[in-house]
Amino acid sequence: MRGVVRNLKTKAGAKPATKILLALCLAEGNRHVAVEAGAVGAVVEIAAELDDAAAERALAALELMCTVAEGAAELRAHALAVPVMVATMGRMAARAKEYAISVLSVMYGGGALEDQGAPPVEEVARAVALALQGNCSARGRRKGGQLLKVLQEQQDEEEKDEEGEENEN
């Protein structure tokens, strides 16, 4: 698995490494191994540079890795995760959008993100809404609708917190 992760980070090895990573992550036990080998961070860091098919496979593998608690936690802690998913959603075809939306759902659905320069919730919601207007799978639309609800709830909660702080002053 470490070799696969190393190859993800090289121009020549990235495409075949995404195929291998996805195939390995189909087995749940391998997802833990992939997370431990640093695959979550590697995928986040190279996703924007991959061609469409390789990016789609990498995002599918990332979605699978997020089904284990360690993978989801590592994703939430990565400073580039939200901006990369938002950017990827904007340029990719239906299936890749679906995977990016699903990854964002893991990030925002699991509680508050550590604020590391992630785009504001409104910006993420706008990007998801734009992605849903374009070519998107039925699963992507369903997950996108759920994500928009979660984002709206978080935005409402933030506004309440701000009002509470203003009333205290």
pLDDT in tens, 91-127: 877 788 889 888 988 888 765 555 555 567 778 888 8
pLDDT in tens, 131-144: 888 777 788 888 88
Domains along the sequence of the chain with CATH = 2-168 (1.25.10.10)
Distance CA 35, CA 72 (A): 9
At a CB cut-off of 8 Å and minimum separation 6, what does 126 contact? none
166 band by pLDDT with thresholds 50, 70 and 90:
low
Within 13 Å, how many C-alpha atoms sit on residue 135's CB side?
6
Q: What is the pTM of this model?
A: 0.83
Do residues 88 and 48 touch, judged by C-beta distance below 8 A? yes
* Helices 138-168 and 121-133, packing angle to 10 deg: 160
pLDDT in tens, 25-84: 999 999 999 999 999 999 999 998 888 899 999 999 999 999 999 999 999 899 888 888
